[in-house]
Chains A and B, each alone.
Chain A
Amino acid sequence: MTQYFIRRLLLTIPTFIGCTIIVFFIVQLAPGGPLEQQLMALKMGAGNERGGGNARGEGGAMIPESTMESLREYYQLDRSTPARYMIWLGLFPRPINPVVVKDVNEPFRIGEKQGRLEGAPGNYHVVNASNSSQTLDDWTVEEKILKDGTKRVRVYQKEFSGILTGNFGDSSEYREPVGGLIVDRMNVSLQFGLIGLILSYTVCVYLGIQKALKHGSPFDVVSSVLVFIGYSVPGWALGLLLLVLLGGGSFWDVFPLGSFQSRDYETLDFMGKLWDRAAHAVLPTIAYTIAGFASLTVLMKNSILENISQDYVRTAFAKGLRERRVIWVHTLRNSIIPIASRIGFIVAAFITGSYFVEWVFNIDGIGKLSYQAILSRDYNIVFAFTVITVLIQLFGAIVSDFVLALVDPRIRFK
């Protein structure tokens, strides 16, 4: 059993690498990346300054080659895509604190010290300017000839940091580390997810049992239609419907029209805050969880139906047990197994649906963040979101198996 889970954990590594490679290459090989956007902005800026007169000139002529190279280095476009992928993972060193040396004979400032280049071209190394016998080993010298023929010498330090060390890079849009951004937004999304998860499990067990016991009754038929709607219609569309009906404007004004909290949230007292949060949470929570809830209910009902015709249930009745005990103890214990094992998938489904729901309800969660990141080509956020989704999917599947083994002692994975 332990062996099985260790093997499963190890198998996630190639899958994870495969997934990240695919996303990384799709994004990196696509035209119109951050460099192009930056260039466009620069050209527009230059054009505007000159009154828009000469903006149509050749791009290369307007932006000096050294600036281009700096930009390329900033976006690591001077390296091959596989190298960039390895840097991003954290397996290759990432250049940090780069300094471009304008004159190879003059000292330059690196960190808190003054440094100087020593040695012949092609074989430089950095020494402390005030004490030339002290070699600064942690600085690497990189020399290259640019397209316009000028020579460019750059010194930088190396650092192994990437997603494996928890460094997701900086967001080009928000100018702050992606890790922190994602954690902030994740907190918002997770609140809905957790409430929804608990609610769907409690309600679906009860509803599933009632539907199974009253199979074929009007209650079953009516609730079936509702469950079918929840099953067939995507959560965000149902959320949109509820928003039109209950979110004010045309029909009833029961709930606020989206967003996470009111604008005057800070001025409210504690109960007011609680009420405000709750009012904002109702519709999004339904939208987040309806799909998982519907399939869980159907699964629960069928599972109960399947179990209730088994011999052990007949035996329990024959022993003279009360119906309540037979259903809620004997049958439930066996019927809960397929439901419990879906927990990982439900969590994964929640995160993959989040960008639509958060777009509809204007919630600043992780889904909306990543959606906007695609629009603004903020690749570090896109990558981070992919990594998180993939990890949740992978571990969700393992957790599902684990829960399955937990609730069903007969199951022994090998």
Chain B
Amino acid sequence: MSDKIIEMKNVNKWFGDFQVLKDVNLEVNQKQKIVVCGPSGSGKSTLIRCINRLEEHQKGTIIVDGNELTEDTKNIEKIRAEVGMVFQQFNLFPHLSILDNCTLAPIWVKKMPKKQAEEMATKQLEKVQIVDQAKKFPGQLSGGQQQRAAIARALCMEPKIMLFDEPTSALDPEMIKEVLDAMVNLAKGGMTMIVVTHEMGFAKEVADEVIFMDEGMIVERAATKEFFANPKSDRTKLFLSQIL
């Protein structure tokens, strides 16, 4: 078995006339942690949203865990269940308690017995240290707690891959750390992760490789140390000089 879990070949995507992804090629191995950075509007979010087909690509192939993503959507829900995603705006379900947020999908998508799902949810909430908030509703939690709950919710599906779409961008500065800590723990546990973020500290600590995107193209992809020490393209150098 190949340990490539995600394969993107010549992926192109347009929003109307505007091309957001231009010939993107990306391969991700199992247990790899990849950080995607770049200026806003560079297609980072679109890239990872294509991986669980929240966005459809128009050209090229995307293969996730051996399944090609195509118009034929028969197995798309199965693939999505294997790919966890954490959003910038948390997107917890406000009408459900934190515990119910975590057990909803395992019970109804994976047909897990309720008791087992609740045990799983408790375990995951413990990992992100908010098990004491399980009975509360999302609106009663702070931003950092909500984002950690969202991570726990995604983990309850026991995904093979986790996608993070700017998970700390909507948070107050003092809450960023608690979310990053949860992500670092997750990385240490051996999860395959693709993280869109501007937190370069996190990238240095966790990532195996860093991808720099601009105008819908992958400009540079390098091992983390290499990326920060010797960026090759001028565009990357400029970007790094601005955010570091």
Chain A bound to chain B: no
The chain B residues found within 8 Å of chain A, CB to CB, are none
Q: A: which residues have CB within 8 A of B?
A: none
